[in-house]
C-alpha cells in the first residue's frame, strides 16, 4: 500500500497573546491518500485556515509535523520547503493573490518560469483557454471581474499539475453562479490531473462534493466523516 500524500501528525499550534498562551490547534492527526478530495469545515475562528497554512508549510506548528509525499516539511529548512511547494503544491486563495503588474498570461506563466520551463507560455495559454479565458490573456487583474480573477488563479494553481491543491474559501468572494462555475472547474481539473484537493469552506454543498469532510471545532478535529 502506498504512503499517504498528506500525513498530518499530532499537530498543535499555540501563540502568545495579551491574555497568555492561546492554543489554535489541538493535536490534529489525519491522513489523505493521493487523488482524494477533502473539505476542512467548521465555524469562523476554529483554526481551519491555520491548519491549511501548516499543511502547506507556510506556517509552523508548535509541535507535531506534516509529511507531504513522504517529506517531513518541518525537518527541512525554509528554502527546501519552498522547493517542495513549488514542485508539488498549488494554491487558490479567496483574495486571488494575483500580481497586479502582470497580465493574466504572465500570472499563469510565473510558476512555470520559476521551474525553468521553456514551454511556459504555451502551457499557460492552453490552461487559460481551458478555464474560458482564451480571449483575456493580455488583460490585467484590475480589468478582470472577480470570477475571471479566480479563474486565472485556478489556472495558475493547476498549470504545474501539482500533486496537492490547497484552496482557502475559493468561492467566498464570488456570487453564487460564478462560485458554482469556479468549483465545477476545480473538481473537473482535479479529476483530470489526479490532484489531491484540500479546501477550506463554509459552504455545505461544496463540502458535500468532497470524498471526506474534516470538521474542526475549537481547534480540535472530529473524526473524519466519509461522504456517502
Q: What is the pLDDT of residues 139-184, one digit of tens each?
A: 999 999 988 998 899 899 888 888 999 998 888 777 888 788 878 8
Domain 6-226: homologous superfamily in CATH: P-loop containing nucleotide triphosphate hydrolases (3.40.50.300)
Interval 58-117: pLDDT, tens = 999 999 999 998 999 999 999 999 888 888 888 887 778 899 999 999 999 999 998 889
Joined together, the cell numbers standing for residue 75 give 525537518
- Domain locations in the chain as residue ranges: 6-226
Average pLDDT over residues 195-223: 89
Give the residue, 213 or 173, on which the prediction is more confident.
213
Percent with pLDDT over 90 in the chain: 54
Amino acid at each position: 500500500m502506498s504512503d499517504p500524500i498528506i500525513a498530518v501528525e499530532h499537530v498543535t499550534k499555540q501563540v502568545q497573546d495579551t491574555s497568555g498562551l492561546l492554543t489554535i490547534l489541538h493535536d490534529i492527526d489525519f491522513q489523505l491518500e493521493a487523488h482524494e478530495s477533502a473539505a476542512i469545515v467548521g465555524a469562523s475562528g476554529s483554526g481551519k485556515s491555520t491548519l491549511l497554512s501548516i499543511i502547506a508549510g507556510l506556517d509552523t506548528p508548535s509541535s507535531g509535523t506534516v509529511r507531504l509525499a513522504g517529506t517531513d516539511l518541518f525537518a527541512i529548512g525554509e528554502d527546501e520547503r519552498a522547493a517542495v511547494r513549488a514542485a508539488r503544491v498549488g494554491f487558490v486563495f479567496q483574495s486571488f493573490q494575483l500580481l497586479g503588474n502582470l497580465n493574466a498570461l504572465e500570472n499563469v506563466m510565473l510558476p512555470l518560469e520559476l521551474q525553468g520551463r521553456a514551454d511556459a507560455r504555451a502551457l499557460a495559454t492552453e490552461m487559460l483557454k481551458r478555464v474560458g479565458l482564451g480571449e483575456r490573456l493580455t488583460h490585467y487583474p484590475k480589468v478582470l471581474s472577480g470570477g475571471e480573477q479566480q479563474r486565472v488563479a485556478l489556472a495558475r494553481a493547476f498549470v504545474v499539475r501539482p500533486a496537492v491543491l490547497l484552496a482557502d474559501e475559493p468561492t467566498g468572494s464570488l456570487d453564487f453562479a460564478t462560485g458554482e462555475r469556479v468549483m465545477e472547474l476545480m473538481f473537473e481539473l482535479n479529476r483530470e490531473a489526479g490532484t489531491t484537493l484540500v479546501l477550506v469552506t463554509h459552504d455545505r454543498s461544496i463540502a458535500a462534493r468532497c470524498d471526506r469532510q474534516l470538521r474542526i471545532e475549537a481547534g480540535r478535529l472530529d473524526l473524519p466523516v466519509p461522504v456517502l
